[in-house]
Amino acid sequence: MRSRSSRRDREAELVAFYGKEFASRLLIGTAGYPSPAIMQDAVRASGAEIVTVSLRRESAGGRMGNAFWSLIWELGVTVLPNTAGCRSVREAVTTAQLARELFDTPWIKLEVIGDEETLQPEVVGLVEAAAILVKDGFEVFAYCTEDLTVALRQGAFQAWFAWIFYLPLAVIGFPPLMFLTVSSFNTLYQFWIHTRTIGRLGPLELVLNTPSNHRVHHGRNPKYIDRNHGGTLIIWDRLFGTFQGEEEEPVYGITKPLASWNPVWANLHYWVELARTARRANRFSDQVRVFLKPGVLDPQGKAINEALHRLGHLRRLHAAGVIHDQQRLQARPAPADSPAFNPRVSARAREPACPQIRPPLP
């Protein structure tokens, strides 16, 4: 009787992935160790039965070779290749196909990175890549976060405040039928602008809320936050200074991980953050402004967003070849306190390097 009970307990502790059972629920990576030997020792000590391997990172780090892969095989674990470092659907799919040939496994831990600073996934591309790989016979482990806001079309509290802006229309004398007609049209209009398939539409971009303009509204890129609020017409954003044209491809989702699967918390978490921010205010007027104007008591966050905006601008200039000319950099006069002005500094230290742009630390 006791043996049956213990067997049931062991079976209950097992975890199954695609028909394979494992006693350990821990997945461990192979990157970032000081040496291959330490990596082996860490895997053995962890008791993990599944080890993730990045094909791109191991290749880029110069570790791709028979010696490294022999160490992996010696561990006797199940290898789960991943697409770490891939930032597009095409990259992820190609890397997965190469990993299948190399490791002879249909398993793939799928990652499509959308944000280089936070390494948050690009959710739309992730779904697209997963669909392609599943059709191709892969068994996909998708890397995703608790970004439930991606699935929310309307906020739960939107109806509580919308009437404040509609009430003046009734006071002015707009007929209810006219209001209902325009409101319904605005809602139906939203269906065709939520797409990445349609590009720019020429002169219509100046007047209408097009798919291109509305993609900006949903982007979490620093320059796209709180932009393009118009429902049907974009002229209001142009008039009130909230317009932003689509430049780099938007990254969708929220700026910080939700860290919860609770849909109620997905609707409430920002109110809690606002309340905590308001509590830090010394004046009552600032406490009120927290709920009316973004960035009132978050100078650090504002500075980071501005730095990230400049970072993106520098990257675009570098990609366009504007800031790669070494002679042009050498021709600039050096300040008196710079290394280039000091004759004691070595010649190598005075050589201008290609810009190594790194994101600011929060």
Q: How far is CA 322 from the centre of its chain?
A: 27
Look up residue 23 and give its two tokens: 């006693």
| 298: three-class secondary structure by DSSP | coil
Of 99, 105, 152, 145, whose CA–CA distance to 122 is shortest?
145
β-pair type (50-54, 27-29): parallel
| 358: three-class secondary structure by DSSP | coil
The vertex-158 CA angle with 156 and 160, nearest 5°, equals: 100
CA dist list (Å): 73 to 18, 44, 69, 103, 249: 21, 13, 6, 10, 40
The enclosing H or E element of 39 equals helix 36-46
Distance between CA atoms of residues 51 and 75, nearest Å: 9
Residue that the structure tokens 């070779």 belong to: 65
- Active-site annotation holder among 109, 135, 223, 293: 109
- Is 135 a catalytic site residue? no
β-pair type (27-29, 139-142): unpaired
Residues 349, 308 contacting (CB under 8 angstroms): no
Catalytic site residues?
Answer: 109
